[in-house]
Amino acid sequence: MTKLPYGISNFELLSGEGYLYVDRTPYLDVLESLSQRYLFFVRPRRFGKSLFLSVLEYYYGIQYKDKFERLFGKYYIGRRPTALANKYLILKFDFSQMDTSSFEGTYQSFLHNVKNGALEFLGRYCQFFNQEDAQGAKEATFPAHVLQRLLLATKLKAPDHKIYLLIDEYDHFANEILSFRFDDFQEMVGKNGFVRKFYEAVKVGTQSGTIDRLFITGVSPLTLDSLTSGFNISTNISLHREFNALMGFTQSEVRDILRGIDMPEEKEEEVLALMKGWYNGYRFAKEAAEQVYNPDMVLYFAAEYIRDKRYPEDLLDPNIASDYSKIRRLFKIKGKEKEHLQYLDELLTTGQISAQLVRQFELERRFDRNDFISLLYYTGIITIHKSSLASVILKMPNYVIEQLYYQYFHQVALERSRLPANQIDLHEIIRVLALDNQMQPLIDYTQQILTALSTRDKINFDEKYIKAIFTSVLFTVGIYTIHHEFEVKKSATGKGYVDILLQKRPPFETRYQFAIELKYLRKADAARAEAVKEEAAGQLQHYLRADAYLQKLENLKAYVVLFVGNEGEFVAVSG
């Protein structure tokens, strides 16, 4: 049985104790062959950035030379080592743990993390340094000064060695404060800010030759772009096609993982289809041919399956849910939540959104549509669907992200309507639908939201917006796999689309599945209601009779749901 490294980001532990490692060492050869030495790479949270930095540390660190065969012998790079293997002093900074409650707290936390990295370096290579060097790092009261003292000591005392600098989660603290304390962010990265001065010291270290290579990871280039005038030496390889799968699993790799946990052969395709819908879909380069899976989500699923030999009830890893629950902070950047919510509405009502991907942000001068949508892309909550001239069409990558968006949308809808969320039992509404085929409570709840919204906010409803509100309730509870515009064959030559298909997903023992056509009419068009219902019912009935997939769905119930103004009703349709 494969040992799964869920939550483990130390390469020596993985390799030495026989944990699964999906080999990414071929990329070491590729990275080393680049003409650029100072590399910057961003990926969404929980995509394996820390593990890859650990691989770099163990591969290039001089202190691990005697362990090379044990660590890398069974991987690609172990059979084809490069010229620079085990040639560097490794200096590593990790900014994932930061106090962001105040400016002073952030400053002290940044300083503390820089000192920790410096002291670990000095202790690791104690053959070159002494207690005086460590004391100098401890006594420094400015982050840049810590680094400057360390680099000077290295240049003087280890002149025959160069540093490979690794920086993990370089922007974590900034992401925490950007939405709420934008002025603090600007002061930190501004001309005399402590973050900018630190990176200026890094730049000086590269110019002197003491820092020979560096690899920086984070979630977005936004913070780095704010440092441009002080740190303009790095090359952002995040959008390069050849590095699309540097972090993330391919379809074949996920299949191998399932086989490694003894997934029954007869269930393999079913499980792959489920995982593809929930965890796949990420494309980080316009030209990339293959989408990749979020590796944390895959390992979470596999670990949960091993434990009980059944699917986890929650297909969304709680740790990822915690990270992505901060999605609302992005919408509040520069106090533009109301403007940014228009893009959320567009994404949920049309399923996609277009923009020109921004490669460099300029927060001080602007933060427009392209900037915001690009930020959503970098953080992994939308991904590239296809190119459109100079722009790209972006969409939600999978059901996990779709669920998070709809939950956020539902929260916003409740706030707009000012309904008391804590007095509404959404699980009961969906329970009676799933077990008793009772549609009315869901209709009543949606109607309640629409009435409150139209009274208070005078929102101009349309069919797509009604559908988003209706669907957000289903996503909030999350016991179904929810398909929008589910494609069906309606004839030998043509296709059609079911508005909403609610499909069972293990391990939930829901009794019913649902195919729903949702329609909307303004009050002024109420006279057309019967004709609209009749037409929709006929269309849905045709889908049920023509499509073989729908015919195989157990206990499938079909409904036409019609809202006329704020008033909802439904009609059952027989197959």
Whether pLDDT at 360 is above 90: no
- 182 CB neighbour count, 10 Å cutoff: 16
Give the position of tokens 């005392």.
157
Q: Are 449 and 465 contacting, i.e. CB atoms less than 8 angstroms apart?
A: no
Q: Does the structure show a pLDDT above 60 at 381?
A: yes
Distance, in Å, from the CA atom of 377 to the CA atom of 221, rounded to the nearest integer, reads: 11
How far, in Å, CA of 188 to CA of 311, rounded? 45
Round to whole Å and give the CA distance between 260 and 247: 20
What is the DSSP code string of 54-85?
HHHHHHHBGGGGGGHHHHHTTSHHHHS--TTT
Q: What is the distance between the alpha carbons of residues 64 and 85, in angstroms, rounded to a whole number?
A: 10
pLDDT for the residue numbered 407:
87
Coarse DSSP helix, strand, coil percentages of the chain, rounded to the nearest 5 percent? 50, 15, 30
Please say if the pLDDT value at position 548 is more than 60: yes
Q: What is the pLDDT of residues 487-507, one digit of tens each?
A: 987 655 567 899 999 999 888
Distance CA 380, CA 282 (A): 8
Nearest to 203, CA basis, from 173, 223, 236, 228:
228
What mean pLDDT do residues 341-369 have? 84
User: Which one has a higher pLDDT value, 407 or 572?
Assistant: 572
pLDDT digits (tens, 9 = 90+) for 88-146: 999 999 998 888 889 999 999 999 999 999 999 999 999 999 999 999 999 999 999 99
User: How many Cβ atoms sit within 10 Å of the Cβ of residue 157?
Assistant: 14
Identify the CATH class of 23-238: alpha beta
- Top pLDDT among 442 and 287 is at 442
- Report the sign of the C-alpha dihedral through residues 120, 123, 129, 135, in that order: positive
Question: What is the maximum alpha-carbon separation in the chain?
Answer: 88
With bands split at pLDDT 50, 70 and 90, how would you rate the model's confidence at 271? very high
Q: What are phi and psi of 449, to 5 degrees?
A: -65, -45
| Enclosing H/E stretch for 412 | helix 399-417
Per-residue pLDDT for 458 more than 70? Answer: no
Residue type, 514: F
Positive/negative CA dihedral, 332, 338, 339, 345 = positive
Q: Catalogue the E-assigned strands of 197-302.
A: 211-218, 235-236
Query: Quick one: three-class SS letters along 528-565?
Result: HHHHHHHHHHHHHHHHHHHCHHHHHCCCEEEEEEEEEC
Residue 382 or residue 328, greater confidence: 382
Dihedral angle computed from the Cα positions of residues 200, 201, 206 and 209, in that order, rounded to the nearest 10 degrees = 150
* Average pLDDT over every residue of 415-433: 86
For residue 21 the two structure tokens come to 């490692």
pLDDT at 107: 95
pLDDT for res 456: 62
Confidence band of 183 (pLDDT split at 50, 70, 90): confident
Across the chain, mean pLDDT equals 90
Span 247-251, average pLDDT:
95
C-alpha to C-alpha distances, 532 to 187, 240, 462, 486, 521, nearest whole angstrom: 58, 49, 15, 20, 9
pLDDT at 462: 84
User: Which range among 52-66, 179-193, 452-466 shows the weakest confidence by mean pLDDT?
Assistant: 452-466
Taking residues 408-418, what's their average pLDDT?
A: 86
| Nearest alpha-carbon partner for 360 in 222, 174, 179, 219 | 222
Closest CA to 171 of 45, 47, 288, 324: 45
Contact 285, 384 (CB under 8 A): yes
Model confidence pLDDT, tens digit, residues 206-223: 999 999 999 999 988 888
Report pLDDT for 494: 67
Task: Please state, in angstroms and rounded to a whole number, the distance separating the CA atoms of residues 249 and 43.
Answer: 13
**CB neighbours (10 Å) of residue 124?**
17
The string of pLDDT tens digits covering residues 289-347 is 899 999 999 999 999 998 888 888 888 888 777 666 667 778 888 778 888 888 888 88
Is the pLDDT reported for residue 255 higher than 90? yes
